[in-house]
């Protein structure tokens, strides 16, 4: 059984970036369908850049408080393997999305303090996975993907009944420490392997995956 750290790179917008990520050995690739994000990509663009994506790489579509019609329209154009909900979606909405699309659902939760952990109990019974990200300090228009870590010690003693993913400000330089403190078996990043918002850097992706492959979880 593969015991290496599983990596999700999110916010890819170009074919060259997808190719580099696959060559580097990522497990999940995320496509951001939130229009106000600098990493936004259209369903048509996503279809074009994933035509030859190996089947073992999981394609994840990121949505923020999306209407069913938005997800419907996206799935009519591009085939996704999982849906990531990165807004203020309720537990009932998460359950409804799972039932409607029959796809695994990853629910993102923003953390800033120990009090934020209480909400996780409401989601672990309805989501297939949870993603722990830094909470936006002002609950503004960007609910995640801000390239900053939260206090990892907040979750160092916690365990959940579903798989979970650590996100928020991860880089090749802090990955080992992040995993040591949190016990994460999966990680998610975007800005940590970018040369500019929405533009991935092939060398940074290789460097990150080189570190990730050395970590046994």
Catalytic-residue membership of 20: no
- The catalytically annotated residue of 96, 133, 173, 201 is 133
For helices 202-214 and 15-24, what crossing angle results, to 10°?
20
With the C-alpha atoms ordered 68, 73, 75, 76, is the resulting torsion angle positive or negative?
positive
Catalytic-residue membership of 17: no
Other CB atoms closer than 10 Å to residue 128's CB: what's the count?
16
Backbone angles phi, psi at 135, to 5 degrees: -75, 135
> What secondary structure, in 3-state letters, does 133-151 show?
EECCCCCCCCCCCCCCCCC
Instruction: Give the whole-angstrom CA distance, residue 55 versus residue 53.
Output: 6
b/e sequence 139-169, b meaning 16+ C-beta within 10 Å: eeeebbbbbebbebebbeeeebeeebbbbbb
Find the helix or strand (DSSP H, E) in which 7 lies. strand 6-10
- The catalytically annotated residue of 10, 17, 20, 188 is 10
Instruction: Give the whole-angstrom CA distance, residue 217 versus residue 214.
Output: 10
CA distances to 32, 115, 149, 190, 212 from 184, rounded to whole Å, are: 23, 20, 14, 17, 11
Catalytically active residues, by annotation: 10, 133
């Amino acid at each position: 059984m593969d015991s290496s750290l599983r990596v999700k790179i999110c916010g890819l917008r170009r074919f060259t970036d997808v190719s580099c990520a696959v060559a580097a050995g990522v497990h999940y690739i995320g496509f951001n369908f939130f229009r106000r994000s600098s990493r936004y990509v259209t369903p048509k663009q996503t279809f074009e850049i994933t035509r030859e994506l190996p089947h073992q790489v999981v394609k994840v579509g990121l949505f923020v408080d999306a209407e069913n019609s938005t997800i419907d329209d996206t799935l009519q154009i591009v085939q996704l393997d999982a849906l990531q909900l990165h807004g203020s979606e309720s537990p009932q909405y998460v359950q409804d999305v799972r039932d409607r699309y029959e796809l695994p659902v990853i629910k993102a939760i923003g953390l800033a303090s120990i009090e934020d952990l209480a909400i996780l109990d409401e989601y672990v019974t309805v989501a297939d996975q949870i993603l722990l990200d830094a909470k936006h300090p002002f609950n503004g228009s960007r609910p995640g993907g801000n390239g900053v870590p939260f206090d990892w010690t907040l979750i160092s003693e916690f365990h959940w009944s579903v798989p979970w993913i650590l996100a928020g400000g991860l880089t090749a330089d802090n990955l080992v420490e992040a995993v040591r403190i949190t016990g994460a078996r999966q990680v998610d990043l975007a800005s940590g392997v970018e040369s500019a918002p929405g533009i991935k850097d092939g060398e940074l992706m290789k460097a990150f995956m080189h570190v990730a492959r050395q970590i046994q979880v």
